[in-house]
Amino acid sequence: MAIRTGPTLADIEAARERIGHVARVTPVYASETLSRRSGRTVMLKAENLQRTGSFKIRGAVNKIATLTEAERSAGVVAGSAGNHGQAVALAAREAGVAATIFMPQNAPMAKIDATRNYGAEVVLVGEGFDEAQVAARERADEGATLVHAFEDEVVIAGQGTLGLELADQIDELQTLVVPVGGGGLASGIALALNELRPEVKIVGVQAETCAPFAGVEPRGHTIADGIAVKQPGELTTSILADRLDLVVTVSDQEIAEAIVLLLERVKLVVEGAGAASVAALITGKVGGSGAACALLSGGNIDATLLIEVTRHGLTQAGRFLVMRTRVEDRPGELARLLALIAGERVNVLAVDHHREGMNLPVTGTEIELTLSTRDEEHCGELLVRLAEWGYPTERVS
């Protein structure tokens, strides 16, 4: 078998011509907050603002643009738990080709809706990505045209157009940090940048619970579902072995903190996979020096998950305090406590009464308070004040 080295720079440049009428050139921003946190200049490539909310549209448009007439009229199929499905749906619609997307039955409604809104037929099948992928392959065996998410030179060439844009947009680029799932994105970008900017160090990031490129056996769930690929492709594995300078891993906790920073300070909604690159930078795992760019690969995070992550991030930063105390079960006692707290300029978000508890005297009521605090120090001060006022305190989170 011939050694497969992936698309050439000319292939990637041809892809740029083909995708320009559908995909956007996404902006690059310097972030003062992230630069301070990382001790180096941090730029962000905001591919979360790409059409369909992720880079996948680049590869999908390039692939569909290069199909034969027979392949087009057979219709395209893809198996996807998310971004690739939306991308193939839109790319097919723009090219006037029929699309069927197989998605897991538990896929978030927002993703199913978005895919349908792009005009694709959505078939819900099985419990996860693997079963959706098998169903897509079966349909392809019956004659439809499969658009694989990463194991395809033409798809990789499409993703590589991001490398061309980065070379145009960031003169001082020294290090690029790219999320790695199936490996198509990192492969395409590395092939382009190695030619145009051989001095740029390219660092791949994986979630620590699913990091085959870092030699870690997949062992669990991650909020970075977009890069939770247990089995990368042979082609992408071969390209990345050659082209990546380093692969690092980040935890869900680190990714969650990056999501909250991007939301609060950069005003961008970024999904777990996309925020993994920022997580790697702010935790100092990337190494090297000089200007670094984090690729924000996508923004398709379920709003329910975004709420959970943000709430968790704020709690970690001491911006929420959940605590229990006890008050006498008499009129006015709760009001007195709340007035004292208000005097400290602390906003009360929730009050829960627990009248049945292990350690409650008969006339006592346990109160759980959720408070909006300024930072960890403020939480500590408040607990001290409550103790001074005579309230027993127990911190919940």
**Looking at residue 298, what DSSP letter applies?**
B
Query: Are 293 and 173 contacting, i.e. CB atoms less than 8 angstroms apart?
Result: yes
> Given the rule CB under 8 A, which of 57-65, 145-153, 174-182, 299-307 is the region that contacts a copy of itself?
299-307
| Residue 285 three-state SS | coil
3-state secondary structure 49-109: HCHHHECHHHHHHHHHHCCCHHHHHCCEEEECCCHHHHHHHHHHHHHCCCEEEEECCCCCH
Least distance to a copy of itself, CB of residue 27, Å: 5
> Given the rule CB under 8 A, which of 102-110, 139-147, 174-182, 191-199 is the region that contacts a copy of itself?
102-110
Q: Contacts with a copy of itself: how many residues (CB under 8 A)?
A: 42
Say how many CA atoms lie within 13 Å of 10 toward its Cβ. 0
Residue from 29, 167, 253, 283 in contact with a copy of itself (CB under 8 A)? 29
Least distance to a copy of itself, CB of residue 291, Å: 17
Residue reference for tokens 């996508």: 298
Over the window 248 to 267, marking each residue x when it contacts a copy of itself by CB under 8 A and - when it does not, the resulting string is: ------------x--xx-xx
Q: Which of 38, 45, 56, 80 is catalytic?
A: 56
Residue 388 found at the interface with a copy of itself (CB under 8 A): no
Residue from 86, 144, 299, 386 in contact with a copy of itself (CB under 8 A)? 299
Helices 333-343, 376-388: crossing angle, 10 deg rounding: 140
230 is a catalytic site residue: no
Q: Which of 31, 54, 80, 297 is catalytic?
A: 297
Which residues sit opposite 79 in a β-bridge? Answer: 102
Of 252, 76, 75, 43, residue with least CA distance to 155: 76
Of 228, 223, 225, 198, residue with least CA distance to 212: 228
Considering beta carbons, is residue 149 or 262 the nearer one to a copy of itself? 262
Q: How far apart are CA 244 and CA 211, in angstroms?
A: 14
Helices 9-19, 184-196: crossing angle, 10 deg rounding: 110
Q: How far apart are CA 47 and CA 61, in angstroms?
A: 16
> Given the rule CB under 8 A, which of 21-29, 68-76, 159-167, 183-191 is the region that contacts a copy of itself?
21-29
H or E stretch at 293: strand 291-296
Residue from 255, 268, 280, 321 in contact with a copy of itself (CB under 8 A)? 268
Residue 397 found at the interface with a copy of itself (CB under 8 A): no
Residue 120 found at the interface with a copy of itself (CB under 8 A): no
297 is a catalytic site residue: yes
> Given the rule CB under 8 A, which of 55-63, 143-151, 296-304, 384-392 is the region that contacts a copy of itself?
296-304
**Looking at residue 200, what DSSP letter applies?**
-
Residue 21 found at the interface with a copy of itself (CB under 8 A): no
Q: How far apart are CA 241 and CA 315, in angstroms?
A: 39
Residue 396 found at the interface with a copy of itself (CB under 8 A): no
Residues recognised as catalytic: 56, 297
Please report, as ranges, the residues that interact with a copy of itself according to CB under 8 A: 24, 27, 29, 32-33, 36, 48-49, 51, 53, 105-106, 109-110, 117, 260, 263-264, 266-270, 299-300, 303-304, 306-307, 310-311, 313-314, 319-320, 345, 349, 355-356, 372, 374-375
